[in-house]
Amino acid sequence: MPISDNHVDFSMRRLGFVLIDGFALMSYASVVEPYRAANMLAGRPLYSWVHISVAGDPCQASNGATFLADQAVGERADCDTLFVFAGGDPTDFDDPATFAWLRETAARGIVIVGISAGPYLLARAGLLDGYQATIHWEHLPAFLAEFPTSAPQTGLYVIDRRRITCAGGMAGMDLAVELIEREQGHALAAQVSDWFIRSEQRGADRPQRLSLRDRYGVANDRVLRVLAQMEACVEDPLSRSNLAAIASVSVRQLERLFGSNLGATVSQIYMRIRLSQSEQMLRTTALPITEVALACGFKTSSHFSRSFKEQFGKAPSDLRARGWCVQGKAATAIFPTASVRALPPSTDAVPQ
Is the pTM higher than 0.75? no
DSSP result, 11-40: S-EEEEEEE-TTB-HHHHHHHHHHHHHHHH
What topology does CATH give the domain 212-334?
Arc Repressor Mutant, subunit A (1.10.10)
Q: How far apart are CA 85 and CA 116, in angstroms?
A: 7
What topology does CATH give the domain 13-195?
Rossmann fold (3.40.50)
The answer for residues whose C-beta is within 8 angstroms of residue 97's C-beta and 6 or more apart is 73, 74
Q: How far apart are CA 138 and CA 220, in angstroms?
A: 26
Check residue 88 and give its pLDDT.
86
Check residue 223 and give its pLDDT.
96
Return the SS3 of 246: helix
Going from the C-alpha of 240 to that of each of 138, 209, 232, 334, 349, the distances in angstroms are 27, 26, 15, 18, 7
How do beta strands 163-166 and 157-160 pair? Answer: antiparallel
- Pinpoint the residues of the chain covered by CATH 3.40.50.880: 13-195
Q: Per-residue pLDDT tens for 247-294?
A: 999 999 999 999 999 999 999 999 999 999 999 888 878 889 999 999
Beta bridge partners of 47: 13
Q: How far apart are CA 141 and CA 339, in angstroms?
A: 32
Check residue 10 and give its pLDDT.
54
- Pinpoint the residues of the chain covered by CATH 1.10.10.60: 212-334
Asked if 65 contacts 25 with a C-beta cutoff of 8 angstroms, the reply is: yes
Going from the C-alpha of 138 to that of each of 94, 108, 302, the distances in angstroms are 19, 32, 25
Show pLDDT as tens, one digit a residue, over the chain (352 residues): 444 444 445 579 999 999 999 999 999 999 999 999 999 999 999 999 999 999 999 999 999 999 999 999 999 999 999 999 998 889 899 999 999 999 999 999 999 999 999 999 999 999 999 999 999 998 998 898 899 899 999 999 999 999 999 999 999 999 999 999 999 999 999 999 999 999 888 889 887 888 888 889 999 999 999 999 999 899 999 999 999 999 999 999 999 999 999 999 999 999 999 999 999 888 878 889 999 999 999 999 999 999 999 999 989 988 776 554 433 333 333 443 333 333 333 334 444 4
- Rounded CA Rg of the chain: 23
Q: Per-residue pLDDT tens for 192-224?
A: 999 999 988 888 988 788 888 888 999 999 999
